[in-house]
Chains A and B, each alone.
Chain A
Amino acid sequence: MTLTRPARIGLRLVALGYLAVLLLLPVGLVFEKTFAQGLSAVWAAITTPAAVSAFWLTVEIALIAVVANTIFGVVCALVLVRGSGRGRWLLDVLIEVPFVISPVIVGLSLILVYGTTGWFGKWLVRHGITVIFNPLGMILATVFVSLPFVVREVVPVLREVGTEQEQAAATLGASPLQTFLRITLPSIRWGLAYGVVLSTARALGEFGAVLIVSGNIAGQTQTLPLLVDTRFYAFDNAGAYTAGALLAAISILVLLVMTATAPDKRRL
């Protein structure tokens, strides 16, 4: 489709204007509001004991969730693409659930299973295990919401690379493990990396699901997104903007990695 020059530039301006007003303006403003307080105030707000503890809890939970979902994601993608067993359709449907379900509903469902009045509540209490209002529940919530990313990125790559090389390796006497490590894993590495980055972004920023199951106790079960929320409702706007800017800075870093690992189709 060849457009006249004015028409093309018109479309370009509409697209850029929309992105600027909707995305760049508000995000830029948070940084502006943060640094308007001065650097020392910014440093003080992100080094309070609550903030430091929230930072590390966020990183720990995201790390556990991403590692679990990466291992599961590769196994599940192999089953979906290469497997022959019945019941694969059920996996295909269940994988999509976290994309369709509200984070609030995820949190509620976990309470209904692991809360004191939930399905396993009495058993857990008897054995002295606390899931809800404890980091364990927050990990479960984060695993749930960041589940589909690795699977969804690895499946199309696995389909595309086919099985010829794997079969050749097997013919030459490689064990299934050797074939996986030397042939399959290297050929899916970019799809895998992109999936890992997407899950990391989601895991670091999860709010609704984690809020419900965490109890949001400063220094114990408070992640960075929860700290933003707490400071906002405590009318500590400067503190909220600073914690928000820290999270935004982390996500811009993630965005850069995302762009570097994005599948070729999306590259310009």
Chain B
Amino acid sequence: MAGGPPPGLGLGIATGYLSVVVLLPIAALVASAFGGGVGASWSAATSPVALSALKLTLLSAAVVTLINVVMGTLIAWVLVRDSFPGQKIINAVVDLPFALPTIVAGLTLVALYGPDSPLGINLAYTSAAVFVALLFVTLPFVVRSVQPVLHALDTEMEEAAASLGAGSATTFRRIILPNLVPSILSGAALAFARAVGEYGSVVLLASNIPFKSQVMSVFIFGEVENGSPHAAAAASVLLLTISLAVLLAIRAVARLSRGGHG
């Protein structure tokens, strides 16, 4: 390998670092979920309160991901194919949720949709608060994944389609969209994963009202604070398994669509 550490050394360093930072804690999590009073841990992780939190988490993550698919693609299109003054600033603004700490995102949402809302919209302690917070933090994923692909996409095919009499809706559906699907799906997968695990932006406005506004990350946090790390670990493993399954499914669809369109 030119220009780097000797092959064995590099692989050793990378694997060692990842094992200590990532693998070891995950192993402890799984061990804790299945060790020491398995019955009690799993009955806490599958209690009505936990299942209700799981349902709210997955449902709002799914809806938010779908909205991101539509709005993210639209924003990417406007940023690449349209031109207007201030476009560069708008392009930078899209990254704001990546740059802004999640607790500040939560605070901004309290300012706008909290009890003192200047708009008169009070979403505090509701599931709608979860939804708004997740929309905020997941906004850039689909935009940033679609943008480079749209940028690289040749306009020749579109022009050919238009010259053959295709309307703009047909051109979008038959020419542009098939090329974008893999990047839309990979952005959607990242957005979904982020939404499922989100904590900081959600907790201030939605708080932790069981059966109402409590998401899984808040439930898990509560279990840790209550001194039940095994139950928290069981709930974590449940959540991770489901979100990994969804991610793998999205990746499989992305691979199929890539295969179908070259």
Contact = CB atoms under 8 A, between A and B. Distances in A.
A44 interface: no
B90 A16 contact: yes
Nearest to A143: B21
A169 interface: yes
A71 B148 CA distance: 27
A190 B95 CA distance: 17
Nearest to A97: B22
Contact of B194 (A22, A99, A110, A144): A99
With a 10 A CB-CB cut-off, give which of A95, A163, A266 has the most chain B CB atoms: A266
B118 to A, nearest CB: 7
A8 interface: yes
A167 interface: yes
Contacts of A85: 7-8, 11
A92 B71 CA distance: 30
Given A72-B17, A147-B22, A170-B2, A27 B100 contact: yes
Nearest to B110: A232
Contacts of A183: 3
A38 interface: no
Interface string A218-255: 00000011001100100000001100100110011011
B151 interface: yes
A17 to B, nearest CB: 11
B163 to A, nearest CB: 11
A88 interface: yes
Contacts, number: 301
Contacts of A18: 71, 75
B190 A99 contact: yes
A59 B78 CA distance: 37
A227 B44 CA distance: 31
B78 to A, nearest CB: 4
| Contact-size category for B | 35 or more
A94 interface: yes
A169 B3 contact: yes
Interface in B208-230: 216-218, 220-221, 224, 229
Contact of A84 (B7, B18, B155): B7
A140 B217 contact: no
Nearest to A109: B25
Interface in B96-154: 96-105, 107-112, 118, 135-136, 139, 144, 147-148, 151-152
Contacts of A30: 104, 107-108, 111
B2 A167 contact: yes
A8 B22 CA distance: 46
Nearest to A141: B25
Contacts of B23: 94
18 contacts: A8-B82, A11-B78, A23-B136, A26-B111, A72-B14, A79-B7, A85-B8, A105-B197, A112-B32, A113-B24, A118-B28, A163-B3, A184-B3, A205-B101, A208-B102, A225-B101, A228-B104, A258-B98
The 7 closest A-B pairs by CB, nearest first: A205-B101, A102-B197, A109-B25, A26-B108, A208-B199, A207-B200, A166-B2
